[in-house]
């Protein structure tokens, strides 16, 4: 669209229409997961499986999400964003409908994998489209505001899932997320359109793609900030996966109370999202990213201190600190990782998404197999992940910003 290409990327403003698209695409995976968490007991009873077995529907989603992004990002750099966005949303809607009709755990897992393959395209392209349209500090602001808006869907979706489950049964939740995917597709087709012009597209030859991924994977300008963000985001998804066991089984919350707990986390993410670009304007993206990682580590250590005998208040304070730190490092670390690679925004975003979902899959798997109570397992994973993220980000904080790679 010519209207979107006229202003310089560093000067373009984030309109409501673009924000809705970016936030919706970014939130789709978390929305599809969080909306069903309060219904886990009923889903398990309906399918005749335990909650632990039902956890396979989460880990399989994360694995498919991780690997699917590598293909989606590559194809979008070669063919453009439009058909990957629309195709991904169509696949997501189809997978959601399959989940709604699932009568066995295997059927549900197949539907969740198809959901993930569609949602991963949406997620990776939300970052790629943001990089197409914005640059520098404008990109950091766009990602921060996108994160704020995107947090509303996964934050409030457990409440919506609880209400839908109580009124109509758990299957209707999958129909609702399918409808949301259709709305996003319609909005994109009518209001946004292609953002990756032909002149910026890259070769899709297998050797060229493999070489490009290989260069990115060893380029510290990308790898270090991307890995830092991924470790923290992986901890967030591990929290999502562990929340029913920790809060419902461990601390006795009802499904409605679990939904309220998730909804309050939105306020923390909102605050962090508003703070991140303002603090970055004053102290720089790298400095504020380091502060965010220190805060996330503080929250993890606080949870670890109370892991043996957790209380709802202590757990809430720990998660609030972790989310505040995550809300600072996520948009800023992502902007730092993507900024030098404008011509390969789809591929870089795909590899970033792969790292994030890979960390999520590892974290969720460890949370289910560690011989500890759920709250202790979560505390160990968050502490280890945030400490490693901080260590990895130190060289990034010490490095000066660099220009975009043009070839």
pLDDT in tens, 275-284: 888 898 889 8
- Of 94-103, 283-292, 398-407, which gets the smallest average pLDDT? 398-407
pLDDT for residue 80 is more than 80: no
Mean per-residue pLDDT, 130-140: 77
pLDDT at 2: 43
Q: Is the pTM of this model over 0.85?
A: no
DSSP character at residue 196: S
Mean per-residue pLDDT, 298-326: 90
CB 90 within 8 A of CB 185: yes
Mean per-residue pLDDT, 173-193: 90
Instruction: Please indicate, yes or no, if residue 304 is contained in any of the structural domains.
Output: yes
Which residue would you say has higher pLDDT here, 120 or 321? Answer: 321
CB 216 within 8 A of CB 73: no
Instruction: Please indicate, yes or no, if residue 78 is contained in any of the structural domains.
Output: yes
pLDDT for residue 179 is more than 70: yes
Mean per-residue pLDDT, 179-189: 91
pLDDT for residue 237 is more than 70: yes
Structurally, how many domains does the chain consist of? 1
pLDDT at 404: 44
CB 300 within 8 A of CB 365: no
pLDDT at 296: 96
Helix boundaries (H) for 101-205? 105-133, 136-168, 171-187
Cα dihedral 394/395/398/404 (nearest 10): -130
Q: How confident is the model at residue 100 (pLDDT cuts 50, 70, 90)?
A: very high
> How high is the mean pLDDT of the chain?
83
Instruction: Please indicate, yes or no, if residue 5 is contained in any of the structural domains.
Output: no
Instruction: Please indicate, yes or no, if residue 1 is contained in any of the structural domains.
Output: no
For residue 400, is it left (φ>0), alpha (ψ between -120 and 50) or beta? beta
pLDDT at 403: 47
Query: What's the CA gap between 16 and 29, in Å, rounded?
Result: 21
CB 44 within 8 A of CB 54: yes
Query: What's the CA gap between 169 and 287, in Å, rounded?
Result: 47
Instruction: Please indicate, yes or no, if residue 407 is contained in any of the structural domains.
Output: no
Q: Which domain holds residue 51?
A: 15-195+207-398
Q: What is the pLDDT of residues 17-65, one digit of tens each?
A: 788 888 888 888 888 888 888 888 888 888 888 766 777 788 888 888 8
Q: What is the CATH number of the domain that holds 334?
A: 1.20.1250.20
Instruction: Please indicate, yes or no, if residue 70 is contained in any of the structural domains.
Output: yes
pLDDT at 372: 81
Would you state the structure tokens that stand for residue 186, as one six-digit string? 């319609």
Q: How confident is the model at residue 14 (pLDDT cuts 50, 70, 90)?
A: low
Would you state the structure tokens that stand for residue 178, as one six-digit string? 């399918």
Instruction: Please indicate, yes or no, if residue 200 is contained in any of the structural domains.
Output: no
Mean per-residue pLDDT, 355-368: 83
- Of 50-54, 250-254, 386-390, which gets the smallest average pLDDT? 50-54
Q: Is 193 helix (H, G, I), strand (E, B) or coil?
A: coil
pLDDT for residue 307 is more than 70: yes
Long-range contacts made by residues 298-303, C-beta under 8 angstroms, separation at least 24?
298/325, 299/323, 299/324, 299/325, 299/382, 299/386, 300/235, 300/379, 300/382, 300/383, 300/385, 300/386, 300/387, 301/383, 303/375, 303/378, 303/379, 303/382, 303/383
Mean per-residue pLDDT, 241-248: 79
Instruction: Please indicate, yes or no, if residue 406 is contained in any of the structural domains.
Output: no
């Amino acid at each position: 669209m010519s209207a979107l290409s006229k202003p310089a990327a560093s000067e373009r403003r984030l309109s409501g229409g673009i924000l809705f698209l970016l936030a919706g695409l970014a939130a789709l995976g978390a929305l599809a997961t969080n909306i069903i968490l309060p219904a886990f007991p009923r889903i398990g009873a309906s399918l005749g499986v335990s909650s632990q077995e039902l956890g396979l529907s989460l880990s399989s989603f994360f694995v498919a999400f991780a690997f699917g992004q590598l293909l989606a990002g590559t194809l979008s750099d070669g063919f453009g964003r439009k058909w990957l966005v629309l195709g991904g949303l169509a696949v997501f809607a189809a997978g959601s409908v399959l989940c709604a009709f699932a009568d066995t755990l295997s059927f549900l897992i197949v539907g969740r994998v198809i959901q993930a393959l569609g949602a991963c395209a949406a997620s990776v392209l939300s970052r790629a489209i943001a990089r197409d349209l914005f640059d520098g500090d404008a990109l950091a602001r766009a990602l921060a505001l996108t994160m704020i808006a995107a947090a509303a869907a996964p934050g409030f979706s457990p409440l919506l899932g609880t209400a839908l489950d109580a009124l109509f049964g758990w299957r209707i939740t999958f129909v609702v997320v399918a409808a949301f995917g259709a709305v996003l597709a319609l909005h994109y087709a009518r209001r946004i359109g292609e953002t990756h012009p032909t002149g910026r597209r890259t070769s899709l030859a297998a050797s060229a793609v493999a070489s490009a991924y290989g260069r990115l994977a060893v380029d510290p300008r990308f790898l270090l900030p991307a890995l830092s963000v991924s470790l923290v985001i992986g901890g967030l998804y591990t929290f999502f996966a562990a929340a029913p066991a920790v809060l419902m089984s461990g601390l006795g919350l009802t499904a409605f109370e679990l939904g309220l707990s998730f909804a309050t986390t939105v306020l923390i993410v909102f605050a962090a999202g508003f703070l991140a670009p303002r603090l970055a304007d004053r102290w720089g993206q790298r400095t504020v990213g380091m502060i965010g990682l220190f805060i996330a580590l503080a929250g993890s250590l606080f949870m670890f201190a109370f892991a043996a005998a957790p209380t709802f208040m202590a757990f809430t304070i720990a998660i609030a600190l972790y989310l505040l730190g995550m809300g600072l490092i996520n948009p800023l670390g992502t902007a730092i990782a993507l900024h030098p690679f404008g011509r390969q925004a789809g591929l870089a975003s795909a590899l970033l998404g792969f790292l994030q979902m890979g960390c999520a899959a590892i974290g969720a798997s460890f949370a289910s197999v560690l011989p500890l109570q759920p709250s202790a397992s979560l505390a160990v994973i968050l502490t280890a992940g945030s400490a490693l993220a901080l260590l990895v980000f130190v060289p990034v904080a010490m490095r000066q910003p660099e220009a975009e790679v043009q070839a």
